[in-house]
Amino acid sequence: MMQKLLSREQIIEVFTRFRAQNPNPKSELEYSTPFTLLVAVVLSAQATDKSVNIATRELYKVADTAQKILALGEEGLIPYIKSIGLYKSKAKHIIALCEKLISDFDGQVPHDREKLMSLSGVGRKTANVVLNVVWGEHTMPVDTHLLRICPKIGLAEGSTPEKVEKSLLERIPDEFMEHAHHWLILHGRYVCTARNPKCENCLINDICQHNDL
């Protein structure tokens, strides 16, 4: 089936509506510093933001820096994150991430995609989230929601995160880029859901291409 793509005018209308409904969307992960956001995003892989927040609320009371988490060690970290899926491998990643932050970056989260991706457990999507949320960079973190809904709506083409990311960066006007990924994640999470999309309540139902890919 041929995928139908939205025109530039239609894309502007989509994001104008999103902006009118929710002018300043925020990450649903709870954090207070670049470091606490980074750890939360690493923990959120294949887990809900809600489950991560429940775990990190307790963890960050005792350890909210690379030095403090390293002092806990893997065995000390695990009880805090045991409720989250893949907690054993995530604990290993976070300890290694903290070690590298301290040895290579003075314990500070680097403002650079390549450097972020050199950290254990940090892929391109995680690096993009940190760059966008902390520094307002116009990045496009493509998670499972965006990979599913953007081609369906007609906002982007591609079937891999990298291709969808590239397509979105090329097609979304700059004025919407700071918040675009949050609007799209929230749309995929609460409206354009995988099993029963709420098309009747959708803000952009009349523009969506409803591509069945």
Owner of token pair 């859901």:
193
Asked if residue 181 lies in contact with residue 141, where contact means CB atoms within 8 angstroms, the answer is yes
Distance CA(177)–CA(103), nearest Å, equals 33
Query: Furthest-apart CA pair in the chain: how many Å?
Result: 55
- CA–CA gap between residue 85 and residue 80 (Å, rounded): 12
d(CA 141, CA 148): 13
Alpha carbon 164 to chain centroid, angstroms: 14
Q: What's the token pair of residue 191?
A: 């409206």
Q: Which structure tokens are listed for 121?
A: 């457990």
Helix extents (H) in the chain: 8-21, 34-43, 49-62, 66-81, 87-105, 113-117, 124-135, 144-153, 161-171, 177-190
Q: Which residues are catalytic?
A: 125, 143
Give the tokens for residue 198: 């709420």
